Amino acid sequence: MTGPTPRARAAVLGQVRAALASAPPRAVQVPRDYHHEPLTGAGDVERFAETVSEYRARVHRIDADAIAPTVLSLVGPQATVVVPADLPNEWIAGLTTVPDEPALGVEQLDRADAVLTGCALGIAATGTIVLDAGRGQGRRALTLVPDHHICVVRVDQIVDTVPQAFAELTPTRPLTFISGPSATSDIELQRVEGVHGPRTLDVLIVATLPTGRSRMFLAKH
Amino acid sequence: MTTFLGTPGVGNLRGDEPFPAAARTALADSQLRRNIGHATHTIRAKRLNAIRECDDWEQLRAAGSALKQDVMARLPELLEQLEDNVTQRGGVVHWARDGDEANRIVADLIRATGSDEVVKVKSMATQEIGLNEYLEAQGIAAFETDLAELIVQLGHDKPSHILVPAIHRNRAEIREIFTREMPDAGELTDDPRVLAMAARAHLRRKFLTAKVAVSGANFGIAETGTLAVVESEGNGRMCLTLPQTLITVMGIEKVVPTFADLEVFMQLLPRSSTAERMNPYTSMWTGVHPGDGPQEFHLVLLDNGRTRVLADEVGRAALHCIRCSACLNVCPVYERTGGHAYGSVYPGPIGAILSPQLTGTTGHDDPNATLPFASSLCGACFEACPVRIDIPTILVHLRAQQVDQERGTLRGVLFSGQDLAMKAAGWAMSGAGRFSLAEKALAAGRLIAGRDHRISALPWPASKWTASRDIPEPPAETFRQWWNRTHERDRR
């Protein structure tokens, strides 16, 4: 097998330096006058619900104690639901769950009816949910292979803008940005939902927990 | 079957005939023109809606442009920083001077895993270097998993658009390809949903059993070593998550300084490419994440002509491209010829400035030397570009280089019709008598105009013009004749 190629490395970097030396670029200041104000107060839950549903994801506005019954009504009593091992117990009361511990094989994930997770945050402007493999989210394969993803977003996890989301995320965690169910525009540039990722996405927007933990704490753990 | 002839070393960056000849073939295909016209018009209207929603769109474009200029200015240090961080997080970084070298590195890495097949995420870099063809010759099967790439691969076709490589195919043609190439798919209709489901069924097993995946990257973050892939279908997530080994081929210009810089690009890219607020899926990973995703990660950093582009002070802005394809969708030339006429995997306005710079051009007969002339310079591409690449200025710059190269050569002296025409026009227009005579001569053009009042064929050298354009019939009366006739009384 080829190891890293020191000669090619030196050659490419040498060429880059030579190219820049032959016509030195001017130093640039990046203008940051686009909207990148931090979030003040609560995120725009109405807008989040609207933008998520415009991707044809199904949105449910519920109270914290309604998570398990809502999931049950979505998947039916016979369904097996894959869950990360650290999902709060009260979310899965009365459900037939398969925890990902020890790690499930892809075939098991493929046979499951649905997967239930939390998330790191939601973005109101774009209807995006971000997973970062943190608490209640599990590894990336969990939310990918089952055909139905049910994702719990607490209202205090919602930010308004894309820059606010990047300010809260930790880049060295595995990150997945999800905006609606799997879709394609590859046939005549018309959007069709449902290709390789989960074809059904249910987003449960949950009123804030009474404990009042801050968003920063939950996103960064 | 059409395949790229390619160019040794650099891959699929050059066609086998000049643009005017290739365009003529494309223009004669009325189905192709209908398909591309329909798709580009659909996306144009959607894109305008998507960007109208952002009242800071121009500020975002300015930031994106400045960020890319900064990247180019600091490219050596950013690449070293990226390499450092990927390595520290358990990845292995490889460098490739050209397409051949990158292909060899990827094939060796695949062989080392013991696998003879790979699943692939849509990637312009691997299209550019002709990786699939190379792997096939090495006995390694590469399965494209993006729907449009799959349509191209199963149709033994070549891509014609950066974002939607099968944009030249309509639903009925796609149904035909699937019916022919997927015997298990059963009865298919030409409903896009049915066709997408057929692709899902066709690739499902492959995803769940694949050991090795090959991807490109939209962004590589120097500060952290994080790689990002932006996609829609979930085929990207499948490839980036399920296999044991992941090999990512990334052009060196794709590096960005910091994670926070993605707050700009992740607004610009989705709205400019598929005209959505956000694409369905974006994956970001940093080296190897224990217990989550591939446990072996290789990053191949590709030059393949990029440093040649970087050396041109004006032309280097072509490296700012984030591959959204908005410039293709708004281009009046692309809309009519489609992507194949450009010969390279990078078609449209961005291709017209990128391909000739990546390969360099060998002279007048080099197909890539004709690309900077494949434009009316209307400027729609510049206006649509999310990182404000001034494509018209670079087109003119490359045209000037081309003309300068030929100045003083035999061809320049004998065949520069443009020079001759300009000199003749200068002489005729510099004297009132001569001008009036020329006007009278022009009126004779009415005799050769067709019933549609257009002149579509003239003898040489004017045939060079009429071969690709019609000339409107000259008016029956010139302005000066009209003036004399209607103002006769005033003169007395």
Interface-testing mutation among B307, B313, B335, B397, with chain A (most A C-beta atoms within 10 A): B307
pLDDT for position B3: 42
pLDDT on residue A216: 45
DSSP string covering B149-164, please?
Answer: HHHHHHTT----SSS-
* Residues of chain B neighbouring A190 (CB-CB closer than 8 A): 42, 192
Beta carbons of A160 and A42 less than 8 angstroms apart? no
Give me the residue label for tokens 């053009």: B445
| Chains A, B: CB pairs < 8 Å | 272
Q: What's the pLDDT score for residue B457?
A: 83
Of A14, A106, A125, A38, which Cα lies nearest the Cα of B206? Answer: A106
DSSP bridge partners of B118: B142
Contacts of A145 in chain B (CB under 8 A): 208, 242
Beta carbons of B63 and A31 less than 8 angstroms apart: yes
Structure tokens at B61: 């474009």
From the list B32, B8, B112, B114, the residue with the least C-alpha distance to B347 is B32
| Residues counted in chain B | 492
Q: What is the ipTM of this complex?
A: 0.93
pLDDT digits over A105-122, tens only? Answer: 999 999 999 999 999 999
Q: What is the pLDDT of residue B420?
A: 75
Q: Do B289 and A133 touch (CB under 8 A)?
A: yes
Interface of B with A in 127-146 (CB under 8 A): 145-146
Residue A174 lies in a domain: yes
Segments making up each domain of chain B, as ranges: 1-415, 432-491
The C-alpha atoms of residue A58 and residue A202 are separated, in whole angstroms, by: 5
> With an 8 Å Cβ cutoff, are A195 and B234 in contact?
yes
Q: Does some domain include residue A46?
A: yes
In a domain, A2, yes or no: no
The answer to whether the Cβ–Cβ distance between B263 and A4 falls below 8 Å is: no
Q: Is B340 helix (H, G, I), strand (E, B) or coil?
A: helix
* Number of folded domains that form chain A: 1
> Does residue A19 lie within any of the structural domains?
no
Element (DSSP H or E) covering residue B400: helix B391-406
Between positions 9 and 48 of B, the ones with CB within 8 A of A are 35, 38-40, 42-43
pLDDT (0 to 100) of residue B261: 98
Whether A99 has its CB under 8 Å from any CB of chain B: the answer is no
Strand partners, A116: A150
Let me know if residue A204 belongs to a domain.
yes
Q: Which chain A residue shows the shortest CA-CA distance from B32? A: A188
Asked if B154 is an interface residue toward chain A (Cβ–Cβ < 8 A), one would say no
- Which residues, other chains included, contact B364 with Cβ-Cβ below 8 Å and sequence gap of 6+? B402, B406, B411
Quick one: angle between helices B147-154 and B192-209, nearest 10? 90
Q: Which domain holds residue A73?
A: 42-220
Disruptive mutation site among B98, B241, B301 for chain A (greatest number of A CBs within 10 Å) = B241
B347 to each of A78, B83, B124, B147, B302, how far by Cα in Å? 52, 31, 11, 19, 20
Crossing angle of the two packed helices B30-52 and B262-273, in degrees rounded to 10: 140
How far is it, in rounded angstroms, from Cα B158 to Cα B347?
A: 12
Regions of chain B short of the pLDDT cut 70? 1-8, 408, 410-418, 490-492
B239 close to B273: Cβ distance less than 8 angstroms: no
DSSP code of residue A156: G
Q: Which residue of A has its CA nearest to B57?
A: A34
Q: Is residue A37 part of a domain?
A: no
CB A110 within 8 A of CB B208: yes
- Does B311 contact A18 at a Cβ distance shorter than 8 Å? yes
* Residue A211: pLDDT band with limits 50, 70, 90: very low
Identify the DSSP state of A181: S
CB B355 within 8 A of CB B316: no
Q: Do B131 and B214 contact (CB within 8 A), yes or no?
A: yes
Q: How far is A131 from chain B (nearest CA, A)?
A: 10
Cross-chain Cβ contact A186/B193 below 8 Å: no
pLDDT in tens, A46-93: 999 999 999 999 999 999 999 999 999 999 999 999 999 999 999 999
> How confident is the model over A147-151, as a mean pLDDT?
97
The fold of the B1-415 domain, in CATH, is Rossmann fold (3.40.50)
> Nearest CB to B260: which of A20, A166, A184?
A166
Query: pLDDT value at position B414?
Result: 58
Q: What pLDDT shows up at residue B409?
A: 72
CATH number of the domain within which A183 lies: 3.40.50.10420
Q: Could you report the per-residue pLDDT of B354-385, keeping only the tens digit for each?
A: 999 999 998 888 999 999 999 999 999 999 99
Residue B348's contacts (CB-CB under 8 Å, 6 or more residues apart) are B161, B162, B325, B327, B328, B331, B333, B334, B339, B342, B381
pLDDT top residue among A34 and B415? A34
What are the distances in angstroms from CA B34 to CA B13, B38, B326?
A: 26, 6, 19
Q: Is the entire prediction scored with pTM above 0.80?
A: yes
Residue B310's alpha-carbon distances to B82, B263, B342, in angstroms, are 19, 25, 22
The string of DSSP codes covering B184-227 is GG-S--S-HHHHHHHHHHHHHHHHHH-SEEEE--SEEETTTTEE
Best probe of the B interface among A15, A195, A220, by most B CBs < 10 A, is A195
